[in-house]
Structure 1
Amino acid sequence: MTLTTEEFVMKFGTKVQKAKFKRDGKLGSRTRESIIKTAEQEYIVEIVKLGRSNIYVCTKRVEKVMKKDGRVRSGREQVEHRIPMDIIVAVHLEYDMTKQASMSLGKWAVEFGLISELESDLLLSRHSSTLRQKHIDLAIENGLLEEDQTKLLDEFTLHCLEIYGQLVKTLEHMKKCGIILFYENWMGYGKDGKVNINPEIMKKIQKTRRDLMKKHDVVEFNLTAHRNAKKVKNFKLEWKQALAEVKDEFGNVLGIKYYWKEYAVILKATSKVVQRYLETYCAEELEAYVNNKDLFINQNEANYVLKRKANFMKKAEKRHKQKLKEYKEMKVGFATAEDEELIRYFYTQKELEDIITGYDLGVKRLHLQNLYMERMGQLFDLYKLKSIANNTL
């Protein structure tokens, strides 16, 4: 198939690219490269010079290949464990080892081995004070925390939660590459048991929640780290009542106690396409994948944990340095000399500084004694122990 520049743009270009070409009457180099990448999914493209114009000779491929999208990859390169995560998910789906087609993101993360069952249980404890206390007890019993350092566990929980977002990006990437079907569905547990929540109803529920958070001046971090604060308790009470009064599209009260998002993940491609996915985005790993799949899987699981911990500790170090800087720059000020005299009668300088930081005193002590990163690393190692989950909690 031989095409002029205009025919080439009209056949393979996007609406924006077509409109731009019609307006300008010419094809820029960046736009040309983008359209060629699209065309090369199904054709081998050769550009032939003909006078002052170009002719595009397109030869049909035997089998369609995936478009390599540098933007998708580069945006996720900063996460050290991204490539082993992609590999683990792709191979797991290829072997059809999944128990169900639709699960919550937490269950998918456990299914793929990206987090341990103990980590999953810790993330669930965000919604249960009883379960949270069990995890506090576990950390204290293992000598990692003291009673006044429980906020450290909250910080660790938020780090674990990041895996969910990273997994979503991996699945969205695989969907874009044509490897899987991937879509979401909202579920709730109400007075009559498990129910599907209509997307429009869910939209209203989320708006109600945002409005209540704004009313009570709380953000997501407050709900985990400051659960005993008065404004958090007031929000949760009103939110619980509002959730229970939600009606379905027919006007029936659902009596929802809690809700969650499930994700359907279904392998769409053949084993050969999964191999091309690895070749395109994890080229350096392909040879090992072809030669010994079992060894390859085990090595990538170990590699994932090592790189995930490296990423985790890098963020912990950044947090540690940030807090030390805040402590050094902290100043205690008073409106009048009388105020200072009165307040200093009740508080020492250290107590005043601790009040101003608004930060847990036990965790501050870990920062000042340079033990913060050590404790965070120990928490990471504790929660990767798969055998401890069923025996402890």
Structure 2
Amino acid sequence: MRKKIRGVAKAIECVKRCNNKARQAKCFVNCYLGNSVKEAYLWVDRLKEISEQVKKLYSFYTITYSREFRSFIEEPLRHLEKKLFIYTHDYKRGKLSLEEYAEKSMMAVNTSLRTNLRTLYQNWGFLALLINIYREGTIVIYPEHNVLNLERSGKQKLRWIPPNLVLDIPGHGSISFFIEAPRPLAWGDTGDLEKIWGLYTALRPDIMVYGGRIYDIVDPENSPPVKRPDLIIEFKELPDWYKRVRDVRGPLAKPLSAEEWRNRWIEGLWDGLADVLGVTRHEVAEKISSHRGVRLNEVRVVQLYKSIYNPDKLFLVSKHVVPGEIRKMLESHDIIVIDDVGFDRDKLSDLSKNVLEYAKQVDEYIIRVRDHELASILQMIIDLWDKKVLDREKIRKLLLYSISENV
């Protein structure tokens, strides 16, 4: 039986196998990732299917994603192939050795595939939740243009953190969803940067849920500087997610001044230019401040979400079965585990019920009509009501008179 080759050794073998191929990058991706590419296409089909259901149910014109993720779901193989463009070019002109090319290519496709599949499952979970909580008469309060944005690109330029979605659900109330928030706000100088530094270092749960209509979660008095969420939902797509580790620098990162930030940005430009031009980079600035961090496994990170943000409830949704000892570790921190979900939205029914429980009634009412003349009449009534010209009794008499005239 042939021994299974893994890691860099497999990547090197794939490079050798693909050396004379016309589309070397495509050949490498197929060789190295194998069935994982086919699995990616199946996952994409699941997302597209549920996206169409949500668009039809909520009358969304479209659902938007980040440019990176949109490229992936349009054509996963082509997207992964593009990640190797520069490496392949450098390899063919002799700048990278075979081993270097193999290692860099392996890391690039692995990272891209894992990152995009994680985003995909998170988006699928959110859309599945939207289907489960839908009730006849549900109104999309925000965004008003009926385009559902599942990304945060440029959303904080106006120095606030808006929701991705606010719904008003009949019989329950309003609920607000924030995906991958908090994120940094725009800033102008060191004073601005100091005020919002906590947003740069804050941990970012997948979904934060607030009862009511919340249009901005920034709260400078809090640490981190956001309003306390009612619920947090975290999605895990890997069977061994609890074995993974990540660098968490958040609370340990030393704040930078605006000048230090700019200096680091310039350093980054120099690094990039030096690499492209093939020259030796001179030190343009001394390393300004040290960033200390700590490596934590994903279980500990989820526990940090609970302790730092202090939501009423935190749900961890796992595509696969969570081992008993891991479940106990999470539940000991009051984290609710929903596992073995796969792509079955019915298994999110308990989560959906909990979300609806946190919907809040508000004093603002929204009526949407498609008839222009009726809308004009309603606006006239509202204006007269605000001016105290009309009251409930006068409107009742007006309606009764109108009905009697037509009988």
Name the structure where helix makes up a greater proportion of residues. Answer: 1
TM-score normalized with structure 1 length = 0.23
TM-score normalized with structure 2 length = 0.22
